Amino acid sequence: MHITELNRECLLHLFSFLDKNSRKSLAKTCHKLLEVFQDPLLWSLLNFHSPAELKKDNFLLGPALKYLSICWYSERVKVCNIEDWMKNNLQKDFCHRHENTVSDFLLEVCNRCPNLLSLSLSGCGHVTDDCILLLLMSCPNLRILKLENCVRITDQTLEAVTLYGGSLQTLHVDFCRNITQTGLERVKEKCPSLMLRADRSANMIPDNKPGKKLMLEKASRKLLQL
């Protein structure tokens, strides 16, 4: 039997085992397989591991999307998580080239994926409070929000969670250095049933340029971690 003789349900099942590039390649072979590739039911889960992947045309955003993960740990992207006042011109230029990549993508998610249940962001150094606020308002069924090392996230996101995160069951803000203990306590007070995790966040040095004393404290902390 030729693959195109299979029914739609079987083809969707086969496509589900392929990565995004393989799905796109297979879809180019005939119109029937292209229709399967374009079926929203195929795209309930998306994982991305580099900024470049967000700009490809090998996936589909739609109302069927339930689980989204945008996580990367490469040495180059870590530049984005350096304090702005510590970046040299080369590092600033690198960041500028993809500063809005994730935020622009999440705006598309807000417009097209109202049924999102889970979002994980890790290493996304340019995502802002405004972006997360809009996502919480646009995706009222969101249950899991994990923000790891998203350095521009502040207490404003925590406040947005108390106002618009009625469906949230889990919130992680690990290594978000501009989150404060006051903000965390407010979330615990307003949302007592929420599973909140904030490893290291409230104990990290925020982005405000520290004075000499704070610089010494930061150096001491790094020595203790060695």
Enumerate the domain spans of the chain: 1-42, 44-218
| pLDDT, position 130 | 95
Torsion of CA 101, 65, 133, 152, to 10 degrees: -40
Contact 153, 207 (CB under 8 A): no
Percent of the chain with pLDDT over 90: 66
Task: Annotate 93-131 with b (16+ C-beta within 10 A) or e (fewer).
Answer: ebbeebeebbbebbeebbeebeebbbbbbbbbbbbbbeb
pLDDT at 203 over 50: yes
What pLDDT band is residue 22 in, cutting at 50, 70 and 90? very high
Compute CA distances 111 → 35, 41, 139, 175, whole Å: 23, 18, 9, 28
What pTM does this model have? Answer: 0.82
Residue 85: predicted pLDDT: 59
Contact predicate 15/36, CB 8 Å: yes
Q: What is the mean pLDDT of residues 46-53?
A: 90
Q: Is 120 helix (H, G, I), strand (E, B) or coil?
A: strand
* Mean pLDDT score across all residues of the chain: 86
CATH 3.30.70 fits 44-218, yes or no: no
Least Cα distance to 206 among 176, 174, 177, 175 occurs for 177
Residue 210: pLDDT over 80: no
Beta-bridge partner residues of 210: none
Mean pLDDT in residue range 165-190: 95
Q: Are 112 and 62 in contact (CB under 8 A)?
A: yes
Residue 217 is predicted with a pLDDT of 53
CA-closest candidate to residue 96, choices 115, 83, 80: 80
In this prediction, residue 72 carries a pLDDT of: 80
Q: What is the mean pLDDT of residues 159-169?
A: 96
Q: What is the pLDDT of residues 126-145, one digit of tens each?
A: 899 999 999 999 999 999 99
Q: What's residue 140's pLDDT?
A: 96
Quick one: which of 221, 161, 216 has its CA closest to 191? 161
157 with 147: CB under 8 angstroms?
A: yes
Is residue 29's pLDDT more than 90? yes
| Mean pLDDT, range 94-107, rounded to an integer | 80
Per CATH, the number for 1-42 is 1.20.1280
**Spatial CB neighbours of 1, under 8 Å, sequence gap ≥ 6:** none
Q: Contact at 8 Å (CB) between 198 and 173? A: yes
Top pLDDT among 140 and 2 is at: 140
The per-residue pLDDT for 99 is 73
> What stretches of 34-177 adopt beta strand conformation (E)?
45-48, 67-71, 118-122, 144-148, 170-172
Evaluate if residue 224 carries a pLDDT over 80. Answer: no
Handedness of CA 189, 192, 196, 200 (dihedral sign): positive
